[in-house]
């Protein structure tokens, strides 16, 4: 006791001679060191045999966030090799249980509504961007009705009309853009393709009024809204940060712009004087209880369509261009396919002709296989979830995470999985839904319930992407139009494709990536 008292007196005397800043620093470092020690001891000494193994980490709260955030697939594969298909890691303080493989996709993506919840995870990020009472800011039953409205607006007739609108936009962009002023040159792929996809989507899906505004006000508002998808907003969506203030201002302006368009259309007596588009479709919809969809919700659904669809299409189209630049021979094959199937006079592309371009479709499939726009699908656990064939029960304090991209990049299903080989689909056709496979209507039409396929670029279950058909039409039409205009190749100082940027919700090419172009049929 005397020794301890003497030590304490000496320590207090020493502390009294130090500045408050020194004491604060020492105290902070001591707290961190103690936290690390306690965290490590808890992992080593208090393992729960009824929960999946926890990935070892030094720092509480941070956990494995950094290694996961830098390269999720590298993290998943390395961790899987050590712990198996099921494991838990700490993601910004939240225990997140990963279940990989086709069984994991089935377990999470087809999880019962009472057991898993997407709204709780994604609403903080998406609601300030999309707006209230749509997507993840409403009961799931209402979301399913909204998905039905959108899905049934994507009729075969509408998709047929979109092909010409999309190719016309690409042709106009190639003609007028400074990026393609010369017969030969280089262009920034991500920047240029993002413009093409936003123009084509706005002209086809959103309507001519929205497309007209994209040359001025909408482009700036879109940029400010896009910043709202910063990862920090998963935790601090309402923080008074500069990008959040711009996000909120842009959301209000864009909502008002859509509502002005809707009001102008209603003033015409609801007559569809010209072309069909999604705004007209949603304006005429009503919920099951008979309530017409409010104009504000129509506006917010249109913002959601614009923002969510643009990221996935832009990223995928950019990867297609980058991949073609590494394989000019494939691009020549694509051009020859159009000549062979459509004729040397290259008539305007139609929906029916697009379906005949098999290699074009395989290029899109192969790109989506390697470069899925979303690498992680997360759900909050609402009820304890036993995992069949294991002793594990996932508690309600966890989130669960599925990564269909892991199976799509697996040697088990695709030989040389990271090699971009569109012709692999000649021998390995895209897994199709079995006619006998169970189908279920979540409220927006019958869809396959199964998740047994290793290839799920558009997800599965109740939250399966409803824009799948439109995405294939948009990407196919853009690809066909670019092939008609250009030959692409890599600059002399680059081989292969750039690394992937996983820093936001949507994966995309890292940094600026330039590709060489040469216009077809143009003599210098």
Would you state the structure tokens that stand for residue 327, as one six-digit string? 């394989």
Tell me how far apart the alpha carbons of residues 142 and 136 are, in angstroms, rounded to a whole number: 10
Q: Is 71 helix (H, G, I), strand (E, B) or coil?
A: coil
Is-contact 323 362, C-beta < 8 A? no
What DSSP letter does each residue of 61-112 carry, written as one string?
TTBTHHHHHH-HHHHHHHHHHHH-SEEEEEETTEEEEEE-HHHHHHHHHT--
Give the residue from 168, 142, 497, 443 showing the smallest Cα distance to 315: 497
Residues in the chain: 524
Query: Cα separation of 396 and 51, whole Å?
Result: 12
Radius of gyration of the chain (CA): 26
φ, ψ of residue 446 in degrees (nearest 5): -65, 130
Q: Which sign does the torsion angle of CA 299, 249, 140, 457 carry?
A: positive
HSE at residue 141, side-chain half, CA atoms within 13 A, is 4
| Residue 134, token pair as written in the block | 């749509």
**447: which strand partners?**
440
Q: How wide is the angle at C-alpha 177 spanned by C-alphas 172 and 179, nearest 5°?
A: 135
Q: Which two tokens stand for residue 14?
A: 């020493």
186/521 Cα distance (integer angstroms): 18
Give the bridge partners for 509, in sequence order. 500
Cβ contact 113:443 at 8 Å: no
Distance separating alpha carbons of residues 212 and 201, to the nearest angstrom: 12
The 3-class secondary structure across 405-455, one letter per residue, is HHHHCCCCCCCCCCCCCCCHHHHCCCCCCCCCCCEEECCCCEEECCCCCCC
Residue reference for tokens 């919809």: 285
H/E run at residue 501 = strand 500-501
Cβ 417 vs Cβ 378: under 8 Å: no
Question: Residue 382: helix, strand or coil by DSSP?
Answer: coil
Q: Does 138 carry a binding-site annotation?
A: no
Q: How far is CA 276 from the centre of its chain?
A: 27
Could you tell me the sign of the dihedral formed by the alpha carbons of 506, 508, 510, 514, in that order? negative
- The sign of the torsion formed by the CA atoms of 29, 34, 39, 44 equals positive
The 3-class SS string of 483-497 reads HHHEEEECCCCCCCC
CA 282, CA 297: separation in Å to the nearest integer? 9
CB-CB contact of 180 with 141 (8 Å):
no
Binding-site residues from annotation: 465
Binding-site residues from annotation for heme: 465
């Amino acid at each position: 006791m005397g020794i301890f008292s003497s030590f304490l007196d000496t320590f207090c005397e020493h502390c009294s001679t130090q500045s408050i800043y020194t004491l604060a620093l020492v105290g902070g470092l001591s707290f961190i060191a103690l936290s690390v020690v306690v965290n490590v001891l808890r992992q080593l000494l208090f393992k729960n045999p009824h929960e999946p193994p926890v990935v070892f980490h030094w720092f509480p709260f941070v956990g494995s966030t950094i290694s996961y955030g830098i390269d999720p697939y590298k993290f998943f594969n390395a961790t899987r090799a050590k712990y198996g298909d099921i494991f838990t890691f700490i993601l910004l303080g939240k225990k997140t249980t990963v279940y990989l493989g086709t069984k994991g996709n089935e377990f999470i993506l087809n999880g019962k509504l009472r057991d898993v919840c997407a709204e709780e995870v994604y609403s903080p990020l998406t609601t300030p961007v999309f707006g209230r009472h749509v997507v993840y800011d409403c009961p799931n039953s209402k979301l399913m009705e909204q998905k039905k409205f959108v899905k049934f607006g994507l009729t075969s007739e509408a998709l047929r009309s979109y092909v010409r609108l999309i190719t016309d936009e690409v042709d106009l962009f190639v003609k007028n853009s400074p990026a393609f002023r010369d017969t030969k040159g280089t262009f920034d792929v991500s920047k240029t393709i993002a413009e093409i996809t936003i123009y084509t989507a706005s002209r086809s899906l959103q309507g001519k009024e929205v497309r007209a505004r994209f040359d001025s006000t909408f482009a700036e508002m879109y940029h400010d809204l896009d910043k709202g998808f910063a990862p920090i907003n998963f935790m601090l969506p309402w923080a008074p940060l500069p990008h959040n203030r711009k996000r909120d201002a842009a959301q209000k302006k864009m909502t008002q712009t859509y509502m002005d368009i809707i009001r102008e259309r209603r003033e015409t007596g609801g007559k569809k004087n010209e072309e069909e588009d999604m705004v007209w479709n949603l304006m005429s919809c009503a919920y099951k209880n008979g309530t017409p969809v409010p104009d504000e919700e129509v506006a917010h659904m249109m913002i959601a369509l614009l923002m969510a669809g643009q990221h996935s299409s832009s990223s995928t189209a950019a990867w297609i261009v980058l991949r073609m630049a590494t394989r000019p021979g494939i691009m020549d094959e694509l051009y020859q396919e159009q000549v062979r199937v459509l004729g040397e006079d290259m008539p305007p592309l139609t929906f029916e002709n697009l379906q005949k371009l098999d290699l074009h479709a395989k290029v899109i499939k192969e790109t989506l296989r390697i470069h899925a726009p979303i690498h992680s699908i997360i759900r909050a656990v609402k009820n304890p979830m036993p995992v069949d064939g294991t002793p594990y029960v996932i508690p309600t304090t966890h989130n669960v995470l599925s990564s269909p991209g892991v199976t799509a990049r697996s040697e088990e299903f695709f030989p040389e999985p990271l090699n971009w080989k569109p012709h692999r689909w000649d021998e390995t056709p895209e897994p199709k839904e079995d006619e006998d496979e169970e189908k279920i209507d979540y409220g927006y039409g019958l869809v396959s319930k199964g998740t047994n396929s290793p290839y799920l670029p558009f997800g599965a279950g109740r939250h399966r992407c409803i824009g799948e058909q439109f995405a294939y039409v948009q990407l196919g039409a853009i690809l066909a139009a670019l092939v008609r205009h250009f030959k692409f190749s890599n600059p002399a100082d680059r081989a292969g494709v750039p690394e992937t940027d996983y820093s936001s919700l949507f994966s995309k090419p890292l940094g600026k990536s330039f590709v060489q172009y040469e216009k077809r049929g143009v003599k210098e």
